[in-house]
Amino acid sequence: MMDVVSQTAGTFAGRVGLTATGSSEPPCSSSFGYTASMRPDGTISDFRVDGGLGVGTCSPVSAPTFSGTVTNTNIKITITDRAMCRDIFGIVREFERVQETDRTLTISLNRSAPVSAS
């Protein structure tokens, strides 16, 4: 889910909500605020996540890179970073295993058709 709650010219802001499952991590949900800017051609020129992209048992250890486009019908943003993730299933002798990994998050949305009032 992605909400755009404000827009001034090419700068827009809102919230992203995530619900995810994975083979090496328990189901998790997270949300974060963002601010983004786009050029007149629809290319994303800046994307900032409020407070970093801490999702599940992972915390970012590098600055994210991003790419994306905006049209009148869809938004697609890809964020890539490096994160340190705890493996909660790999507890050995009272120590949690920690692994550094590359992550990619792709947010892809299509505009919903307006609901008509009957």
pLDDT value at position 26? 60
Q: What is the pTM of this model?
A: 0.72
Higher pLDDT, 94 or 108: 108
pLDDT over 80 at 43, yes or no = yes
- The answer to whether 52 touches 34, Cβ cutoff 8 Å, is no
pLDDT in tens, 47-94: 988 877 766 677 888 888 999 999 988 999 999 989 887 766 555 555
Element (H, E) at 26: none
What is the chain's mean pLDDT, rounded? 81
Q: Which residues contact 113 (CB under 8 A, 6 or more apart)?
A: none
Instruction: Tell me how far CA of residue 31 lies from CA of 18, 44, 59, 94, 117, in angstroms.
Output: 6, 20, 14, 30, 31
